[in-house]
Amino acid sequence: MKLLVIGCGGVASVAIHKCCQNPVFTEIMIASRTESKCVDLAEKLRPTAKAKLFTATVDADNVYSLIELMKEFKPHTVLNVALPYQDLTIMDACLECGANYVDTANFEPEDITEPAWRAAYDKRCKEEGFTAYFDYSWQWAYFDRFKRAGLTALLGTGFDPGVTQVFTAYAQKHYFDEIHYIDILDCNGGDHGYPFATNFNPEINLREVSANGSYWENGHWVETKPMEIKREYDFAGVGKKDMYLLHHEEIESLAKNIPGVKRIRFFMTFGQSYLTHMNCLQNVGMLGTEPVMFEGHEIVPIKFLKALLPDPATLGPRTVGKTNIGCIFKGIKDGKEKTVYIYNVCDHQECYKETGAQAVSYTTGVPAMIGTAMVASGKWRAPGVFNVEEFDPDPYMEALNEYGLPWVVDENPVTVD
Ligand code: NDP
């Protein structure tokens, strides 16, 4: 099966590494803005890869550049591990060239001042009640076009979004008649030794973390100030950590796809030093997403900051510690209340030894490969646009065990108040 991977950063390097271990992929084209990164990765992987590897340069903001590449390579499936800014152009090119589409993050625009997007955003904020720049409406709107073309688009197959929803579908299938409460807990107990760095693309990460929080309760969104809701949790493999409620994209799809759910919250751990740095950068305007004039040039502060911060793809050798990501479910089984916690613990150094990347890239890249393999092998295939919780979770859960992200089911967990 021919796979086109777009992007060659931290997440892509793990996803491609893992695709090379899976015999479902016979030819892989790695295409990104900077082809030298693709060439370096292909050279590293070729000696052990099961698939034939090719490289190319592509500007994924430009549909024609994508179509040209796809017409030549003729991929069966395209894995988008570039940035969320490129989701729609890549979906358009897939439709034009008859390829299935897979990604790990929902669409957000690079330019939040663009008038058509801004008008739709203002309307959505008023009607839906959450102000995040990213949401699923743009990609869900492609459903009919993918259906008519007989193609599958699988959205958000990283860890969160991604595995967290597969855990939910698995809990729904095997442990509950109805799930009422979902708490998604994302803990990174890793230490990279820098005063401040982000574990994935800094621009996307800081946009997400510095925004208002929100959760889903009784059929509507409740929005909070950034970091307003804090809890402490004792994570297996990591220990006690402070965690904060954030808005996160899978809340939107789970609210739509899990019947009877009453509340969905997402918490992520942050150390005090990270928060102090982030608040300071925010206070001085360095997280700004709109252009400012500086010495006759337009610069976007958060893009300039990205250029100064360590590249997340280089954190692998220096990051020690573990991540623990999972979901606590409360609901009803056979008329009785039940609580189940499904989680994965991942060690930064073990990930580095295997793939050269730290655990945040690893926990995203492995599920990116698994979701792509589900579509490529036909185990998950339906015409239209889907989130991962809409398919049978069992083959995906098996693949997590097989490809390096084993999971644990705890039927007596400590819950979050
Ligand atoms: P990186 O910044 O490390 O990599 C992004 C890659 O995309 C780079 O190779 C970059 O090229 C390439 N790229 C950017 N713009 C274009 C373009 N216009 N045309 C072609 N290539 C382009 O990001 P990460 O690997 O950290 O993240 C990748 C994706 O994974 C993001 O969408 C992120 O939101 C998502 N993610 C999802 C998670 C989940 O659990 N679901 C968790 C973490 C991340 P260049 O090398 O030239 O800069």
**Residue 210 clears pLDDT 90, i.e. is over it:** no
The per-residue pLDDT for 112 is: 86
Do 111 and 216 sit in the same domain of this protein?
A: no
**Residue 108 clears pLDDT 90, i.e. is over it:** yes
**Residue 199 clears pLDDT 90, i.e. is over it:** no
Q: Answer yes or no: is 391 within a domain.
A: no
**Residue 252 clears pLDDT 90, i.e. is over it:** yes
Q: Which atom of ligand 1 is least distant from the CA of 156?
A: 41
Q: Which domain, by its residues, includes 203?
A: 163-357
DSSP state, 415? P
CA-based angle 102:135:146, to the nearest 5? 40
Q: Which atom of ligand 1 is least distant from the CA of 7?
A: 7
Structural domains in the chain (count): 2
Residue 200 and residue 364 in contact, taking contact as beta carbons nearer than 8 Å: yes
- Domain final position from 357, 376, 407: 357
Q: Which atom of ligand 1 is least distant from the CA of 199?
A: 26
Q: Answer yes or no: is 369 within a domain.
A: no
Q: Answer yes or no: is 405 within a domain.
A: no
Do 211 and 146 sit in the same domain of this protein?
A: no
Do 204 and 252 sit in the same domain of this protein?
A: yes
For ligand 1, mutation pick of 11, 92, 344 (most atoms within 8 Å of CB): 11
Task: Give distance in angstroms: CA of 113 to centre of ligand 1.
Answer: 22
Do 181 and 309 sit in the same domain of this protein?
A: yes
Please give the average per-residue pLDDT across 177-205, as a whole number: 92
Q: Answer yes or no: is 201 within a domain.
A: yes
Residue 325 and residue 163 in contact, taking contact as beta carbons nearer than 8 Å: yes
Max Cα-Cα span within the chain: 68
The CATH number of whichever domain residue 218 belongs to comes to 3.30.360.10
- Domain final position from 107, 139, 155: 155
Task: Give distance in angstroms: CA of 333 to centre of ligand 1.
Answer: 41
Do 311 and 172 sit in the same domain of this protein?
A: yes
Do 173 and 93 sit in the same domain of this protein?
A: no
Do 177 and 287 sit in the same domain of this protein?
A: yes
Task: Give distance in angstroms: CA of 329 to centre of ligand 1.
Answer: 31
The CATH number of whichever domain residue 84 belongs to comes to 3.40.50.720
Please give the average per-residue pLDDT across 177-188, as a whole number: 98
Q: Tokens for 117, please give them.
A: 């997007």
Please give the average per-residue pLDDT across 81-99, as a whole number: 97
Q: Answer yes or no: is 226 within a domain.
A: yes
Please give the average per-residue pLDDT across 289-297, as a whole number: 92
Q: Answer yes or no: is 366 within a domain.
A: no
Do 94 and 191 sit in the same domain of this protein?
A: no
Task: Give distance in angstroms: CA of 173 to centre of ligand 1.
Answer: 33
Task: Give distance in angstroms: CA of 332 to centre of ligand 1.
Answer: 39
Please give the average per-residue pLDDT across 48-53, as a whole number: 94
Beta bridge partners of 136: none
Q: Answer yes or no: is 90 within a domain.
A: yes
Q: Which residue would you say has higher pLDDT here, 156 or 113?
A: 156
pTM over 0.85: yes
Q: Which atom of ligand 1 is least distant from the CA of 62?
A: 18
Task: Give distance in angstroms: CA of 80 to centre of ligand 1.
Answer: 8
Those residues with Cβ within 8 angstroms of residue 415's Cβ, 6 or more apart along the chain or in another chain = 183, 328, 330, 339
Nearest residue (by CA) to ligand 1, atom 31, is 83
Which 3-state string (H, E, C) describes 176-228? CCEEEEEEEEEEECCECCCCCCCCCCHHHHHHHHCCCEEEEECCEEEEECCCC
Q: Which residue would you say has higher pLDDT here, 111 or 264?
A: 264
Do 189 and 330 sit in the same domain of this protein?
A: yes
The per-residue pLDDT for 312 is: 86
Q: For strands 263-269 and 213-217, give the pairing.
A: antiparallel
Task: Give distance in angstroms: CA of 82 to centre of ligand 1.
Answer: 4
Do 274 and 292 sit in the same domain of this protein?
A: yes
Give the residue among 47, 44, 66 at the shortest CA–CA distance from 57.
66
To the nearest 10 degrees (0 to 180), the angle between helices 359-377 and 348-355 is: 60
Q: Which atom of ligand 1 is least distant from the CA of 311?
A: 3
259: left (phi over 0), alpha (psi -120 to 50) or beta: beta
Q: Answer yes or no: is 395 within a domain.
A: no
Residue type for position 286: M
Residue 51 and residue 19 in contact, taking contact as beta carbons nearer than 8 Å: yes
Report pLDDT digits (tens) over 256-270. 999 999 999 999 999
- Rounded distance between C-alpha atoms, residue 43 and residue 30, angstroms: 12
Task: Give distance in angstroms: CA of 311 to centre of ligand 1.
Answer: 11
Q: Which atom of ligand 1 is least distant from the CA of 12?
A: 25
Do 148 and 172 sit in the same domain of this protein?
A: no
Residue 323 and residue 160 in contact, taking contact as beta carbons nearer than 8 Å: no
The per-residue pLDDT for 289 is: 86
- Domain final position from 341, 357, 373: 357
Give the residue among 88, 87, 54, 48 at the shortest CA–CA distance from 72.
54
Nearest residue (by CA) to ligand 1, atom 29, is 81
Nearest residue (by CA) to ligand 1, atom 2, is 201
The band of 290, judged by pLDDT with boundaries at 50, 70 and 90, is: confident
Pocket of ligand 1 (CB under 6 A): 7-12, 32-34, 37, 58-61, 81-84, 86, 104-105, 156, 158-162, 200-201, 204, 312-313, 364
Please give the average per-residue pLDDT across 279-285, as a whole number: 93
Do 288 and 143 sit in the same domain of this protein?
A: no
Please give the average per-residue pLDDT across 217-226, as a whole number: 96
